[in-house]
Amino acid sequence: LFKALVLCLPLIWGFNLDTTHTLHKLGDPGTFFGFSLALHQQRNPDPQSWILVGAPRAAGQGKLTGSRPGALFRCPITPEEYDCERVDIDGDVRWDRESKHNQWLGVTVKSQGIGGKVVTCAHLYELRQRVNQSSETRDPIGRCYVLSEDLTNRDDLDGGEWKFCEGRPQGHEQFGFCQQGLSVSFTPDKNFILFGAPGTYNWKGEMRVQLLNQTLLDLGIYDDGPYEVADEKQLNAQLIPVPYHSYLGFSVDSAMGIMSLGELTFVAGAPRANHTGAVVLLKKDNVYRLVPQHIFWGEELASSFGYSVATTDLNSDGWTDLIVGAPNFFDRKAEIGGAVYVYLNPFGHWDDQARPIRLNGTYDSMFGMTVSNVGDLDQDGYGDIAVGAPFDGDGKVFIYRGSKSGIETKPAQVLDGRDFDVRRFGYSISGGLDIDNNHYPDVAVGSLNDSVVLFRSRPVIHVKRDITIDPPQIDLEQSNCKDRDGVCLILHFPSVQENIRDKLRPISLVITHTIKPVPPRRHSAKRLEKLPPILNVSPSNTLHSEVNFLREGCGNDKICQSNLKLSYQFGTRPLNSDLFIPLPKDEDDVQVFSLSDQRLVVLDITVTNMPSDPLYPEEDGDDAHAAQLIISLPNTLSYAGSRIPEQMRCQANQNGSQVECDLGNPVKRNSKVRQNCVFIVKLNKRSKNIFKKLYSHLFFSGAVRGESAMSSLDDIGSAVDFEFVVANPGQALQTLGSAFLNIMWPYELANEKWLLYPASLTFQGHPETQCSPTSALNPLKLQGSSPAELGSHGVGGASHCRL
Ligand SMILES: [Ca+2]
Ligand SMILES: [Ca+2]
Ligand SMILES: [Ca+2]
C-alpha cells in the first residue's frame, strides 16, 4: 500500500477557437463588407460589444445617394446575421471641394479596445478644386474619422478632420496622393494615432504619428508631435529611408520593447521598397520627426515584404517580436505562394541580423496578406498570431502559437472559409478582445465576400500533473500515508506485500484525464451559449510514472549481484521415514538406481547464496530476487511430491516431467536453501523392455507320417530343444511389474499337417512360472521318454509364459 499525490491545478493553456458556435454577419452583396473589421467594446453609456465592419464599396445614403462612398457598420454580438447597422458618419458632402464617391470609407477600422476610441478611414477621399472647370484637380489625400467608444462624436478629437495632407502642396510628388488611412493604428499606450499615407512624396510613402489623448490636450499639452518620417515641419522627403514608389506606410504598427524596453517604437511597412519590400523601425525624436532605427529588407523581388506587419511578444521574454507578411513571395518549385517572416527580438540588437523564421503559404494563396496579433488566445502566457491566406482555396486563417522557443511553426488551428460558406476568407482579422466575457480573447475574420465570422475562444484547461510517490519507493516493511494538502490518491496494491514476484522492475502508473463532454444544448436566439472548455493539446493528457521497490540487500549500487550455487544428490527413503539414504555410486562416481525395491527416489537439492569472496561481499553478495529452480525429469521418472522449506513453492507440469520451484523472493545473502528438499519420484510402470530378441535357424527332413501313426512322443521324430534364458542383471523385480515370455513356433502346414509338436516346457529357477494356454502343450497327450524336454513338432503355435 502506498499513495500517490496528484496536484491538479487548472491552468489556462492550449488553443481553442470554437468552430461550431460561430457568429456570422452579412452585408449587402458587392459592398466589400468585411474588407476590414475590428472587435470593439464600449462601456458607456451601456456596456456593449461590437464587431465593427468596414464596407468600402457600400452605397451612399441621403446626400450621397447614387454614389459609393463606403461605410462603417457595427454588428451586435447576436446570432442574427443581418442586424448590422451603418454607423452614422460622413453623411455630409461639399460638392464644390470634395468627392466621396469611391473614397473607400471603411478601408480600415481600428479600436483602442474596451471603452476606447475607434478610427476608420477612406484612403481615396478626394479634395477637388475648380470643380467642373477644365482645370479641375482631384487629389486623393485620404481621410480618417475618429469616434468615441459609443461610435459618436463626443470630444474635440472625434470627427473626420483627420486629413493631414489637406492644405499642403498638392500633386503626386507632394501630398496630392497621400492616401492617408490605407493603414491606421493606435499606440498601445493609447496616446497616439498612426496613419500610413503610402502615396505621399511620389509614393515614397509617409507615416504620421499624432497625439490622441483628450486628457493631455485638456491639460494644454499640445507639443508632443505630430511626427512624420520626413519631419512634420521640414517636410523633407530625403529623410525617408526608402526610394520613391516604396509605399511606406502601407502597413503601420507600434509597440514598446522593440528597440529597447520601455520605449515606444513605430513600425512601417514599405512593400515595394527596392522591389523586395522593407519594414522600417522608427522612433520619435524630440521635435517632429520619426527617426529610422533599423530596416528589414525582403529577400525576394516583388514579394511585397511589409504588406502587413504585426507585433507581439511570442516567446514572453519581455521583448516584442515582429511579424511581417510577404503575400507575393513566390517559389514555384516549392509551391510556395506567400510567406510570413517572424523576427524574434534579439534583445533590441536588430543589427546583429537575427535570422527570421519563415512560415510559408501554399501556391497562389496570398498567405500573409494579413498578419494579426490576436492576443494570447489560449492564455498560456505566450502571444499568438493569425495569418490570413484569402486565396488558399476559399481562404484560410492560420493560428500560430507563441512558445518559449518563439513560435510553433505548425499552425495550432486552421480556419477554412469553406467550412463557413465564406469565400476570400481571411482578408481581415481582428482579435485580442474578449467579446463573451469568458476571459479568453476572441477573433473575428472578414472576407471579400460580404461576410464576417466571429470565432469565440473556448476556455482551455491545462492540467498540471505532478505525481508524488510517497514514500518514493516501496518499502515492504513500511506502509503509511501522512496528511497533505492537495488531492491525495491512495492507490491500493494489495498484492504488493504478498504476491508481486518481480520486485526489481518498477510498477507502472498511468494517469489520464479527460473532460466529461457536455451534452449539446439548443442554441438560444438571444444569448450566446457558453462555450465548453477544452483540454490543452500539449502536453498529452496521459501521464506515466513508476514506483520502484526499495531494493533492500542490493548494496549501495542498487544492482543485485548474487552468487547462487546448486548442489544435489539422489537417494532413497524408506517408507514412513525421513531417513535419507544416498544412492550407491558406480565406478564412474555416478549414482546408480537399480530396479530393485526402491520405488522412491529422493532428490536432495541445496541452493546457496554466498559471496564468492566473503571479504568482498559487495561483488556478488546481494540478495537474489525471483530465483527459480527448474527440474527436468527423464521419461522413466515422474514427480510425485516434495518436502520443501516454507519459502519455497513448487509446481509440476501435467505429466510430472518438469518441476518449477520458487526458491524464495529474495534468496537472502548468506543463505542456504536446503532443509529436506525432498523430491519423491516414481518409476514409470511402462519401462522400456530390457530383454533382447534372439534368433536361430532349424531345418527338418525325413518321411511324412500321419497323426494317427503317433503313439508316443518318440514316434514324432527327433526332439528339438529350445533353451530360453531370461536374465535380469540388476535387482530383482518385485511388484513393480511382471515379465512375460512369448514363444512362437511353426505349428502346422496349410493342409493342417503338423510341423513342430510342442511337447513340454520346463523351468529352472522359477518353478511357479505358468504358461498359457496349457492346452497348447502336448495336445495329443502322448507319452514320452523325457518329459523335461520341449519337443516341438508342429506348424506353429504360441505360448505365453509368465515368468
Ligand atoms: Ca519576445
Ligand atoms: Ca498563447
Ligand atoms: Ca472570449
Ligand 1 midpoint to CA 287 (Å): 30
Ligand 2 midpoint to CA 537 (Å): 12
Smallest-distance ligand from the CA of 312: 1
Smallest-distance ligand from the CA of 18: 3
Segment 479-528, tens digit of pLDDT: 455 655 444 445 544 444 445 566 666 777 777 777 777 666 655 556 67
Ligand 2 midpoint to CA 367 (Å): 21
CB 180 within 8 A of CB 143: yes
Ligand 2 midpoint to CA 518 (Å): 25
Q: Give the pLDDT band of residue 697 (cuts 50, 70, 90).
A: low
CB 67 within 8 A of CB 101: yes
Smallest-distance ligand from the CA of 537: 2
CB 412 within 8 A of CB 350: no
Ligand 1 midpoint to CA 383 (Å): 9
Coarse DSSP helix, strand, coil percentages of the chain, rounded to the nearest 5 percent: 5, 40, 55
Ligand 1 midpoint to CA 341 (Å): 14
Closest CA to 343 of 389, 369, 374, 306: 306
Q: In whole angstroms, give the CA distance from residue 439 to residue 430.
A: 17
pLDDT of residue 734: 52
> Ligand 3 (ion): which residues have CB within 5 A?
434, 436, 438, 440, 442, 457
Q: In whole angstroms, give the CA distance from residue 623 to residue 670.
A: 9
Segment 37-91, tens digit of pLDDT: 999 999 999 999 999 999 999 999 999 999 999 999 999 999 999 999 999 998 8
Q: Which residue has the cell 513342430?
A: 756
Ligand 3 midpoint to CA 761 (Å): 114
pLDDT of 9 above 60: no
Chain length of the chain: 803
Smallest-distance ligand from the CA of 315: 1
pLDDT of 246 above 90: yes
- The residue among 594 and 668 whose pLDDT is bigger is 668
Residues 606-622, mean pLDDT to the nearest whole number: 81
Ligand 1 midpoint to CA 347 (Å): 8
Ligand 1 midpoint to CA 313 (Å): 4
pLDDT of residue 260: 95
Ligand 3 midpoint to CA 441 (Å): 5
Closest CA to 663 of 522, 590, 671, 397: 671
Torsion sign (Cα): 279, 280, 281, 284? negative
Ligand 3 midpoint to CA 443 (Å): 9
At residue 434's C-alpha, the angle toward residues 431 and 438, to 5°, is: 140
Q: In whole angstroms, give the CA distance from residue 558 to residue 574.
A: 47
Strands in 271-376 per DSSP E = 278-284, 290-297, 308-312, 321-331, 336-343, 357-362, 370-373
143-147: strand order across its sheet: 105-111, 118-122, 143-147, 159-162
Q: Give the pLDDT band of residue 690 (cuts 50, 70, 90).
A: very low
Smallest-distance ligand from the CA of 318: 1
pLDDT of residue 538: 64
pLDDT of 174 above 80: yes
Helices and strands, number each (H, E), in the chain: 4, 53
Ligand 2 midpoint to CA 381 (Å): 6
Smallest-distance ligand from the CA of 383: 2
Ligand 1 midpoint to CA 355 (Å): 14
626: left (phi over 0), alpha (psi -120 to 50) or beta: left
At residue 134's C-alpha, the angle toward residues 132 and 135, to 5°, is: 100
Ligand 2 midpoint to CA 560 (Å): 49
264: Cβ contacts below 8 Å, ≥ 6 apart:
187, 189, 192, 254, 255, 256, 283, 284
* Cell numbers found for residue 308: 502587413
Three-state secondary structure readout of 27-95:
CCCCCCCCCEEEEEEECCCCCEEEEEEEECCCCCCHHHCCCCCEEEEEEECCCCCCCCEECCCCCCCCC
Ligand 3 midpoint to CA 435 (Å): 5
Ligand 3 midpoint to CA 563 (Å): 68
In Å, what is the CA distance from 83 to each residue of 28, 74, 90, 620, 744? 12, 9, 21, 85, 117
pLDDT of residue 126: 96
Choose the weakest-confidence range: 129-143, 390-404, 594-608. Answer: 594-608
Segment 720-737, tens digit of pLDDT: 777 777 766 555 555 555
pLDDT of residue 301: 94
CB 457 within 8 A of CB 438: yes
Q: In whole angstroms, give the CA distance from residue 733 to residue 58.
A: 119
* Cell numbers found for residue 164: 493631414
Q: Which residue has the cell 509605399?
A: 247
Segment 248-297, tens digit of pLDDT: 999 999 999 999 999 999 999 999 999 999 999 999 987 899 999 999 99
CB 534 within 8 A of CB 16: yes
pLDDT of 539 above 70: no
Closest CA to 448 of 24, 22, 23, 30: 30
Smallest-distance ligand from the CA of 378: 2
Ligand 1 midpoint to CA 370 (Å): 20
Residues 438-455, mean pLDDT to the nearest whole number: 96
Segment 624-673, tens digit of pLDDT: 877 888 888 777 677 777 777 777 778 888 877 888 888 877 788 777 77
Ligand 2 midpoint to CA 315 (Å): 9
Ligand 2 midpoint to CA 401 (Å): 5
Smallest-distance ligand from the CA of 348: 1
Smallest-distance ligand from the CA of 459: 3
pLDDT of 3 above 50: no
216: Cβ contacts below 8 Å, ≥ 6 apart:
191, 224
405: left (phi over 0), alpha (psi -120 to 50) or beta: alpha
Smallest-distance ligand from the CA of 413: 2
* Cell numbers found for residue 596: 530393485
* Cell numbers found for residue 750: 496349410
- The residue among 624 and 13 whose pLDDT is bigger is 624
CB 656 within 8 A of CB 680: no
CB 775 within 8 A of CB 799: no
b/e string for 334-343 if b means 16 or more Cβ within 10 A?
eebbbbbbbb
pLDDT of 459 above 80: yes
**Looking at residue 624, what DSSP letter applies?**
B
Ligand 1 midpoint to CA 38 (Å): 25
Ligand 3 midpoint to CA 731 (Å): 98
pLDDT of 753 above 60: yes
Ligand 1 midpoint to CA 400 (Å): 15
- H or E element in which residue 253 lies: strand 251-256
Ligand 2 midpoint to CA 199 (Å): 36
Smallest-distance ligand from the CA of 386: 2
Residues 352-370, mean pLDDT to the nearest whole number: 91
In Å, what is the CA distance from 26 to each residue of 20, 386, 621, 711, 792? 18, 22, 83, 136, 124
| DSSP assignment string, 710-754 | -SBHHHH-S-----------SSPP-SS---EEEEEEEEB-TTS-B
Ligand 1 midpoint to CA 229 (Å): 26
Smallest-distance ligand from the CA of 533: 3
Q: In whole angstroms, give the CA distance from residue 387 to residue 398.
A: 5
Q: Looking at mean pLDDT, say which of 157-161, 623-627, 653-657, 744-748 comes out highest.
A: 157-161
261: left (phi over 0), alpha (psi -120 to 50) or beta: beta
In Å, what is the CA distance from 100 to each residue of 91, 105, 166? 10, 8, 15
2-6: strand order across its sheet: 467-470, 2-6, 487-491
Ligand 2 midpoint to CA 383 (Å): 5
Smallest-distance ligand from the CA of 455: 3
Choose the weakest-confidence range: 284-298, 542-556, 732-746. Answer: 732-746
520: Cβ contacts below 8 Å, ≥ 6 apart:
none
Ligand 1 midpoint to CA 85 (Å): 39
Smallest-distance ligand from the CA of 385: 2
Smallest-distance ligand from the CA of 431: 3
pLDDT of residue 344: 96
Cis amide leading into 243 (omega within 30): no
pLDDT of 749 above 80: no
**What are the residue ranges of helices labelled H in 432-523?**
none
Ligand 3 midpoint to CA 73 (Å): 21
In Å, what is the CA distance from 578 to each residue of 373, 585, 641, 682, 691? 90, 21, 14, 17, 35
Ligand 2 midpoint to CA 284 (Å): 31
Q: Give the mean pLDDT of the chain.
A: 83
Ligand 3 midpoint to CA 434 (Å): 4
CB 611 within 8 A of CB 620: yes
Smallest-distance ligand from the CA of 346: 1
Ligand 3 midpoint to CA 410 (Å): 24
Ligand 2 midpoint to CA 403 (Å): 7
Smallest-distance ligand from the CA of 437: 3
Smallest-distance ligand from the CA of 405: 1
End-to-end CA distance of the chain: 68
